[in-house]
Structure 1
């Protein structure tokens, strides 16, 4: 039998050769344990690391900062998961190990599933120019011919720069002016639905003043407009303010009531009076119960904007409470019927339901709130047949739609490639919106593309959300405090920190600004973020959840990327509706995984004309032919040392750049505990969100078909999915990760130990009672948050 010492004596390899251990592979015979021990001895003799040395080096490196190079590589060597290749380099004789000796390496181009083969079909799409279907009409139509007051029509043309109406406005506005029936308005995204229901309301209230009646802000609330999200409610209020900016309409005052702001200031605005109320359902229901100065007995219009979304967010019970309160208070104002008729206002309350899509929840809401309603839609849709019942409601005709079939491990680099390619033309004020399925995923990708240099740059987590009015003061006390201080609210709003969730995007382009928006951010940060994104003059990218998918009119949005597929077809339509608005061109791109998800365009969307792209083609354009951002040149400039470490592929430059981009994200995950926790939470939330697709589409989005290891890889995680320990949740809106309690579940044991020190059973009972009260309070707080914000923080 061969002896280990004898094998060492016959080794003629020079002692300074770092790869001397490879000669052991040519020895045959003996037991495998003897060969293994000989190999380990040779590795130790020539300076190659073993597990003990790695542990010692990792302990020594723990004293350094997280940016220390030795700490980075040693953690990587220890925590590298199965299936990830790793090779040892030389040991430096004159100092610490350099960055290029033990890099974090792995391959994102290996073991990827192949896309399904698609039969070749001739491209039947016409190359002729496409006529936009949601653009203002060019057939000579004008607002002056729709029955609007001349003052209002001229104000639209001269002051608001709206020359001609859209198809839905031309069709619906005259009927809403002349009729007192309920109405359901269905129109394409970006076709002007907000003005469609605002113009008849403002016209009919303004007409009352033309008959000699003197109306003012104390005359009562004539209309209530409900919006599902705060962002949409604020946008409706902005459009309404522009519409009422004419001097002849100065007396008509709108009021904005949203969640996330102090109820004291809202009560002050309500007491001063207003004629049109814009609100979110939860906050309006609260004021109807607790604010006695809110008089809704004279309401003649109730508008439910994005009605399907209202039902989706769990507002069904809240809407029922609002309708009941309006009906009860209207009964108390029966004596005002004659006065309403004299003013030219409807004798009954008119309910208007608006939505770009028709789904069962909308029909249920219509049955609950509408009576003998008119169904209004644009004339262009009838002519082009886009509302065919066999196909359902379609996107604007000028919108170019495509989907990319990308394996899970290539999703992150594919997104980076698309964003880099989007700004190669450096179009002025160009904007891109990227939709994710959950808030945790938004946070992770925001930090990923923002880069380490921007960590701590935005302060959205350091400013707590505005506190609610919990002091229980009576309206009289608040009147005393607010009297004589009309500008106090404005001054407080100016002093309130308004730091947007914004950073630079060195991984995309040095001149591009990166924003994030989701329901867990405090309200003043959400408002500031949307406002800065709206007015950004250079290129901008917005990472968001579905909180930004409804009704928002953001200018110059050229591309909408759905990184995570929508939960239903209706969500898909509303997402892509953020571009190609009012006749402008736009592009939309959807990410799909190889396999069953590739049937989504044909089976769920009923759309055959979506262009199909593959991940390799996208990566070649983004990493191969696009100039590299300056921030990445120093990291990917030297390829000489990488030839022995980067997994072998085709050797193309775009592959090496894509691998290095992804490895940089993995190094950051390994080097930073905070970033690692963010990646783990995003991975867990993404999987949970994936399981919430509607039942009709779960055959397409089958969670059992997901490769969890590859999904984890797309979040920069190198552990096996079963080994990923998700940290405890942080407080909503703070951005601070709660520490993981290693003794979780041992509270009772701690109490027992504490009691044995002489406190007795009475102290144990008291402590347990305090724990129960604390748990009850925590559950109550969670229910308050979940009443408005969904599980994945999209509301």
Structure 2
């Protein structure tokens, strides 16, 4: 008879169980907490291995219960019930090798979203009406011939460059810059022609100097240097300068372009040949000033700092100090020697032009560093801003229609798709859209997401073509060789472009960011510029400054800018030179709703809700060809739809988002890209300036919903981000016993045979760890290590 206080522990597990032989006997000694945790892990593994729906391969409803968007018990029960009904109806049949037909995971993007503020912002009626353009050419009879320009140069602007009249800033600044040798700060709104504002006085004075003095040529020296913050802007300035110098009487005036990312050998060859106007980025110019002896800058009479605020934001302050010091030293050394160009009527000292659309502390610092007794030139705007000084604020063009959309995190991706679909329904021909993102990884993910179906469709077409070619043996050989010869003659494009079937079958999708190589960036921007049909450009702030892209009707800021100055530069890519334009900003419910009034100080932005945008894009707009070709059975989805659903636009939005999630699950590369984009987006969100932290509070973000907008079904804490360009490194086995043990403990869904082998190996290593811990505690007297 057993003692009443004696506890007898028998192991009654079945002998056929793979865990029975070693689950208890394999782990002995050590601390009781370690034994308890090991036992729980084994029980967990046994429970998962007994689930009938768990198989290796694609995820099923039963294998991924924690991937629910909300994860509540009622939703999980409805999913299991749907699987049971599907099995009873014969919709899913299992075999020894696993399920033949699997139902995808469904999680609604319309549930548990934060509610936007019920009180709408005040909208000024003048924003909804067509306003008089403030950056358009003047219509008061002004002409280039009345600004003091040479007659040949004025006629060239009208006849060759098709510029009928100057803008406000050109009318005010050009005549003063021609007649004065003073430094100048030029401030004007985006799209008002600041490039020609500083190019015309420089070209005019060099042209008149050549007429009055000796004949000049490309070896006469470098007269002007123009610094641009980005390579794209530098290339555009060089293009405008080439158009301006295309007049026959200016053929001897040669510009030189030197940019980062290009081959230095070819740039040095161009410098040795000689040039009169140098367009450069600061880093590459500083490098040539040190290492290129053939670059003679001792006779520079003009220095232009275009987009001065961006030059300071990108960290070029020290580089600009070096450039200014080098120019001063070489000019001082040259002043002691006689020069044949000293009597040409050019400025006696170096004149500096500082151009910017905004006035901020960094611009003032750059002005103090480079300007002396400068003229302040701004466009003649008649509008007032509540009595504030217009020189201290920034303004958007009056004809630009601005709006913002309040979209919860889970609806951001489908809202972007809806906006783009609706945009090309309204105006298809020659229309272009620019979408700004906060980081390069986010650009890559969305570019891949919106063009992924295009790649699949192309592969299917190739397979069909191969099958048809194999089946059709009577095809004429000449008909087969003709496309191959045509393909050989065609030069492949290196631009980052693709079709966007999820938007419109006739729309081309481009991407542009600083991580791309220079030749790809140049080709992408050039092809987007010359695109005749509809086009969308996904980009970072590398394309937010100074670029003049034609037919840009809409600018979408999918991620809010880092500062209010960046906002005005982004929307300045549209509504240029008097043309109409629209701008749309994405904001999330909560603290971000105060961005227009508290940060931008604008009360005339129209406010939209995500549901309204989705109804127009997924309900009223026609579906793309890819979506129309898909046969969707919505009968079995009724258990997974939200209670308020039933509308066509909601079902199509859910299906669109599910397609992105399926692509993320199906491709390891795409999954890694989504994870990198998620983490980069969170890091970029934390880089807003200190004055805007109350509006963009990272603590208010729902990280799970943000991950959902990137097509991820994992919890944010489980998302591990691989390095750029590398595969999922943590999924690969390593030689570390600790790493192998941890990965095997987390492994789910192995086959029965592999599961048994893994359990034995796991138990063996766990026993080794326990013995090691026991040896470490042998010198400690405890009731848990007696005997």
Shorter-chain TM-score: which interval?
Answer: 0.7 to 0.9
1:673 match: 668
Distance (Å, rounded) in 1 between the aligned partners of 2:509 and 2:121: 39
- 2:396 partner SS: coil
Alignment of 1:512-591 (within 5 A): 512-591=507-586
Alignment of 1:159-308 (within 5 A): 159-308=160-309
Distance (Å, rounded) in 1 between the aligned partners of 2:217 and 2:664: 60
Q: Is the 8 A contact 1:340 1:346 kept in 2?
A: no
What CA deviation, in whole Å up to 9, does each residue of 1:668-696 have, x standing for no partner? 11111111100100000000000000000
Distance (Å, rounded) in 1 between the aligned partners of 2:52 and 2:306: 60
Could you tell me how far 1:639 is from its partner in structure 2?
Answer: 2.2
Q: Is the 8 A contact 1:729 1:738 kept in 2?
A: no
TM-aligned CA distance change 1:54 to 1:507, over 3 Å = farther
Q: Which one of 63, 67, 70 corresponds to residue 83 of structure 1?
A: 70
- 1:333 partner SS: helix
TM-aligned CA distance change 1:595 to 1:345, over 3 Å = same
Distance (Å, rounded) in 1 between the aligned partners of 2:372 and 2:735: 55
Distance (Å, rounded) in 2 between the aligned partners of 1:290 and 1:744: 47
Higher relative contact order (CA 8 A, sep 6+): 2
TM-aligned CA distance change 1:117 to 1:500, over 3 Å = same
TM-aligned CA distance change 1:749 to 1:355, over 3 Å = same
Alignment of 1:644 onto 2:639:
yes
Distance (Å, rounded) in 2 between the aligned partners of 1:457 and 1:173: 53
Alignment of 1:258-407 (within 5 A): 258-335=259-336, 339-379=340-380, 381-382=381-382, 388-389=388-389, 392-407=393-408
TM-aligned CA distance change 1:600 to 1:100, over 3 Å = farther
Alignment of 1:462-501 (within 5 A): 499-501=494-496
TM-aligned CA distance change 1:737 to 1:526, over 3 Å = farther
Could you tell me how far 1:104 is from its partner in structure 2?
Answer: 1.6
TM-aligned CA distance change 1:250 to 1:746, over 3 Å = farther
Larger radius of gyration: 2
TM-aligned CA distance change 1:142 to 1:623, over 3 Å = same
Q: Is the 8 A contact 1:100 1:641 kept in 2?
A: no
Distance (Å, rounded) in 2 between the aligned partners of 1:682 and 1:127: 36
TM-aligned CA distance change 1:636 to 1:580, over 3 Å = farther
Which stretch of the first structure deviates more once superposed, 553-562 or 426-435? 426-435
2:651 match: 656
2:623 match: 628
Q: Kindly report the root-mean-square deviation, in angstroms, between the aligned alpha carbons of the 2 structures.
A: 2.9
Could you tell me how far 1:214 is from its partner in structure 2?
Answer: 0.8
Q: Which one of 501, 520, 537 corresponds to residue 506 of structure 1?
A: 501
1:32 match: none
Q: Is the 8 A contact 2:496 2:520 kept in 1?
A: yes
Could you tell me how far 1:632 is from its partner in structure 2?
Answer: 1.4
Could you tell me how far 1:118 is from its partner in structure 2?
Answer: 1.3
TM-aligned CA distance change 1:644 to 1:749, over 3 Å = closer
- 1:215 partner SS: coil
Could you tell me how far 1:425 is from its partner in structure 2?
Answer: 2.5
TM-aligned CA distance change 1:222 to 1:54, over 3 Å = farther
TM-aligned CA distance change 1:113 to 1:422, over 3 Å = same
TM-aligned CA distance change 1:567 to 1:93, over 3 Å = closer
Alignment of 1:705 onto 2:706:
no
Could you tell me how far 1:117 is from its partner in structure 2?
Answer: 2.2
Q: Is the 8 A contact 2:554 2:583 kept in 1?
A: yes
Distance (Å, rounded) in 2 between the aligned partners of 1:99 and 1:286: 63
TM-aligned CA distance change 1:647 to 1:749, over 3 Å = closer
Name stretches of at least 5 consecutive residues in structure 1 with no aligned partner. Answer: 1-49, 62-70, 459-493, 731-735, 751-795
TM-aligned CA distance change 1:437 to 1:119, over 3 Å = closer
Distance (Å, rounded) in 1 between the aligned partners of 2:611 and 2:377: 45
2:443 match: 442
Name stretches of at least 5 consecutive residues in structure 2 with no aligned partner. Answer: 1-46, 460-488, 741-787
Q: Is the 8 A contact 2:70 2:112 kept in 1?
A: no
1:133 match: 134
What CA deviation, in whole Å up to 9, does each residue of 1:307-335 have, x standing for no partner? 00000001110010000000000001114
What CA deviation, in whole Å up to 9, does each residue of 1:370-400 have, x standing for no partner? 0000000112x15666993388211000000
Report the TM-score, using the length of structure 1 for normalisation.
Answer: 0.78
1:695 match: 690
TM-aligned CA distance change 1:53 to 1:165, over 3 Å = farther
1:431 match: 432
Which stretch of the first structure deviates more once superposed, 446-455 or 667-676? 446-455
What CA deviation, in whole Å up to 9, does each residue of 1:749-781 have, x standing for no partner? 99xxxxxxxxxxxxxxxxxxxxxxxxxxxxxxx
Q: Is the 8 A contact 2:231 2:281 kept in 1?
A: yes
TM-aligned CA distance change 1:123 to 1:313, over 3 Å = closer
Alignment of 1:592 onto 2:593:
no
Could you tell me how far 1:664 is from its partner in structure 2?
Answer: 1.1
Distance (Å, rounded) in 1 between the aligned partners of 2:385 and 2:603: 16
TM-aligned CA distance change 1:748 to 1:619, over 3 Å = closer
Report the TM-score, using the length of structure 2 for normalisation.
Answer: 0.78
TM-aligned CA distance change 1:721 to 1:122, over 3 Å = closer
TM-aligned CA distance change 1:395 to 1:535, over 3 Å = same
Q: Is the 8 A contact 1:142 1:163 kept in 2?
A: yes
Distance (Å, rounded) in 1 between the aligned partners of 2:565 and 2:658: 37
Q: Is the 8 A contact 1:57 1:74 kept in 2?
A: no
TM-aligned CA distance change 1:93 to 1:662, over 3 Å = closer
What CA deviation, in whole Å up to 9, does each residue of 1:249-290 have, x standing for no partner? 000000000011110000000000000000000000000000
Which stretch of the first structure deviates more once superposed, 247-256 or 447-456? 447-456
Q: Is the 8 A contact 2:127 2:401 kept in 1?
A: no
What CA deviation, in whole Å up to 9, does each residue of 1:547-577 have, x standing for no partner? 0000000000000000000000100000000
Q: Is the 8 A contact 1:186 1:377 kept in 2?
A: yes
Distance (Å, rounded) in 1 between the aligned partners of 2:291 and 2:737: 40
What CA deviation, in whole Å up to 9, does each residue of 1:324-378 have, x standing for no partner? 0000000011146775551011000000000000110000000000000000011
Q: Is the 8 A contact 1:134 1:583 kept in 2?
A: yes
Q: Is the 8 A contact 2:508 2:536 kept in 1?
A: yes
What CA deviation, in whole Å up to 9, does each residue of 1:472-518 have, x standing for no partner? xxxxxxxxxxxxxxxxxxxxxx9997510001101100000000000
Distance (Å, rounded) in 2 between the aligned partners of 1:523 and 1:73: 44
What CA deviation, in whole Å up to 9, does each residue of 1:120-164 have, x standing for no partner? 758543766411000000111110110101110111111110111
Q: Is the 8 A contact 1:337 1:347 kept in 2?
A: no
Alignment of 1:78-117 (within 5 A): 80-81=67-68, 83-84=70-71, 85=75, 87-88=79-80, 89=83, 90-91=86-87, 92-93=92-93, 101-117=102-118
2:49 match: 52
Q: Is the 8 A contact 1:106 1:647 kept in 2?
A: no
Q: Is the 8 A contact 2:53 2:60 kept in 1?
A: no
- 1:401 partner SS: strand
Distance (Å, rounded) in 1 between the aligned partners of 2:633 and 2:439: 37
Could you tell me how far 1:636 is from its partner in structure 2?
Answer: 5.9
TM-aligned CA distance change 1:121 to 1:310, over 3 Å = closer
Distance (Å, rounded) in 2 between the aligned partners of 1:122 and 1:268: 57
